[in-house]
Structure 1
Amino acid sequence: MIRVMVVDDEALVRSGFTMILNPAADIEVVAATCGGQALAAAVEHAPDLALLDVRMPDVDGLTVLARLMELPERPVVAMLTTLDSDEYIATALRSGASGFLVKDTDPDELARLVRSPAAGAVVLAPRVTATVISGYLHHHGEHRAAAHMVSRLSAREREILVLLSQGLSNADIGRRLHLSIGTVKDHVSAVLAKLDVGNRVQAALWAQRAGLLDGAPA
């Protein structure tokens, strides 16, 4: 069961996400709250995944993200965005966000995306990918440094980096490369360690900077 916390200043958004996600057999919305109460709700309910609005009037979403990342058992955090907040993307990634979802995500797609962290995949809505990566690289693109970082990886690790950057779960990567999930997990851990990043989204940004995704299937 994937335990989800929805953090948004609008009650309608919170109730909408709850109504969409709760009917899924493997998903439970354990808390739906505004930003000011998010930390207390996270401590009380220990969610696996927090869907966190970027912009809230009571407490800024980036402030909430930083506080959640300080918890001993911190949740995976996917930022909720309207695609008009590119200036927040770099800060959110550096602060530990593991993905971005748009608020008007199709209901059928939402449950699938929420399942991604449990399967070891990136929480990233498809139409957010270009905005996230291109916006981040515009401000922080250092292709030479990226190429140096990626050169630390073995050929197999680079192959896995490309696949995880495409949003594939550990199970999907295993099937593609005929590897066990345990072996894939070990390779992914090695990739994150060698790139000195905390999650798969940040690893995907290194792959993009280094040109590994040029011509790769979306």
Structure 2
Amino acid sequence: MTRVVVVDDQTLVRQGIRSLLELAEIDVVGEADDGEVALEVVATAAPDVVLLDLRMPRRDGIWTLERLRDRGVDIPVLVLTTFDDDALVLEALRAGARGYLLKDVTLAQLAHAVRTLADGGTLIAPSITDRLLRAIRSGPSPVGPDAPPAQELTERELDVLRLVASGYSNRQIAEALFLAEGTVKNHVSTILLKLGARDRTNAVLRALHEGILR
């Protein structure tokens, strides 16, 4: 079973998410009501995915994402929130979130998102994708003003990057392109290096911003 930690300041919401995920045979192995507690729970429970609310009264979701990133924690984080503000979505993705869903999703959509992230993919709610793309292309570079210029990608690297942007995991990319999974991992590592990106999400953001992906 996929193992999940739920981070939300509302007890009733956490209990509701737990009950729903259990119906989908997803195991909730820990809960936290703010970012500080979340760091401890994630370290102890070692989940496959973290479900994270953004607006919490003490340490919020962005703070939590940044601390997880700074500590080198490579557990995928799915933001689950009521807020679809473009700036907030971008901030969460730049801080390391690999998925972003609104709380009006169905159980099937939530379960699919959790399993997608657990399998190494990414997922953003379709309702905010178009606005997000416009915001990415018109805003500052997601890797910061001091980042080196992006290096040109090969056609194969572009193929891999397009599938990364579509939420595919390494295994799914390997199947789609008839490659070994190890070869895909090598391509992804090279893409991150050439784009000066720290992770897959950041690489996609920069590629979209600079017109490498359209």
Classify the TM-score, shorter chain. Answer: 0.7 to 0.9
1:34 to 1:137, Cα distance in 2 relative to 1, 3 A: farther
Question: How far did 1:201 drift?
Answer: 1.8
Count of residues in Structure 1 that have an aligned counterpart in Structure 2: 209
Match for residue 149 of structure 1?
150
1:72 to 1:211, Cα distance in 2 relative to 1, 3 A: closer
- Structure 2 unmatched runs, 5+: none
Match for residue 134 of structure 2?
134
Match for residue 172 of structure 1?
172
**Structure 1 letter corresponding to 2:32:** T
Q: Normalised by the size of structure 2, how large is the TM-score?
A: 0.84
Match for residue 195 of structure 2?
195
Deviation readout 1:23-43 (Å, 9 max, x if unpaired) = 334x32111221152122122
Conservation of the 8 A alpha-carbon contact between 1:81 and 1:101: yes
Deviation readout 1:44-95 (Å, 9 max, x if unpaired) = 2122221111111232221222222233544222222334332323332332
Match for residue 98 of structure 2?
98
Q: Normalised by the size of structure 1, how large is the TM-score?
A: 0.82
Match for residue 31 of structure 1?
30
Q: SS of the counterpart of 1:54?
A: coil
Q: SS of the counterpart of 2:9?
A: coil
Conservation of the 8 A alpha-carbon contact between 2:93 and 2:202: yes
Q: SS of the counterpart of 1:185?
A: helix
Conservation of the 8 A alpha-carbon contact between 1:150 and 1:206: no
Q: SS of the counterpart of 1:140?
A: coil
Query: Is 2:130 the partner of 1:125?
Result: no
Output the CA distance in 1 between the equivalents of 2:180 and 2:27: 29
**Structure 1 letter corresponding to 2:99:** G
Conservation of the 8 A alpha-carbon contact between 1:54 and 1:81: yes
RMSD between aligned residues:
2.5
Question: How far did 1:157 drift?
Answer: 0.4
**Structure 1 letter corresponding to 2:10:** E
Identity %: 40
Question: How far did 1:165 drift?
Answer: 0.8
**Structure 1 letter corresponding to 2:160:** I
Question: How far did 1:114 drift?
Answer: 0.7
Conservation of the 8 A alpha-carbon contact between 1:2 and 1:115: yes
**Structure 2 letter corresponding to 1:172:** Q
**Structure 2 letter corresponding to 1:127:** S
Output the CA distance in 2 between the equivalents of 1:15 and 1:43: 21
Match for residue 10 of structure 1?
10
Question: How far did 1:198 drift?
Answer: 2.2
| Range with greater deviation from structure 2 (201-210 or 122-131) | 122-131
Equivalences for residues 65-76 of structure 1 within 5 A = 65-71=65-71, 73-76=73-76
